């Protein structure tokens, strides 16, 4: 089983007034809940369930949403967890910042 935690910098979003946090979550929910039939907790954790392999859904999400500035500019936390295995946490936001932001110019 897999889960993904997303946390936005809501104070930044409110302060800048550039994006609507409700619409941001609605876009993600549309993709993860409706398209891939995943589950979500109230605190931004999307997860699959026994008998459903959500790995491809999470991979697809990362490939698609990393190109959206409303998503990437406001991330506070983006973690991927593989449950039931000794995988620990993979904080994707750090990998993304290193590979996409810093890697392009390096």
Q: What is the pLDDT of residues 76-104, one digit of tens each?
A: 988 888 776 555 555 555 555 555 545 54
Chain mean pLDDT for the chain? 83
Which pTM value belongs to this model? 0.77
State yes or no: pLDDT of 8 exceeds 80.
Answer: yes
**CATH 2.60.40.1080 assigned to 2-105:** no
The mean pLDDT value for 68-81 works out to: 90
Give the rounded percent of residues in the chain with a pLDDT score beyond 70: 78
Burial call 17-26: b when 16+ CB within 10 Å, e when fewer: eebeeeebee
Domain ranges of the chain: 2-105
């Amino acid at each position: 089983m897999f889960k993904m935690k997303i946390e936005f910098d809501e104070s930044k979003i409110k302060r800048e007034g550039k994006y609507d946090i409700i619409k941001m979550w609605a876009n993600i929910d549309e993709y993860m809940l409706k398209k891939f039939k995943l589950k979500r907790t109230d605190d931004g954790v999307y997860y699959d369930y026994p008998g459903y392999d959500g790995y491809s859904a999470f991979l697809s999400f990362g490939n698609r949403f990393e190109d959206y500035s409303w998503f990437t500019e406001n991330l506070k936390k983006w973690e991927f967890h593989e449950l039931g295995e000794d995988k620990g946490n993979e904080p994707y936001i750090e990998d993304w910042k290193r590979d996409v932001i810093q890697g392009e110019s390096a």
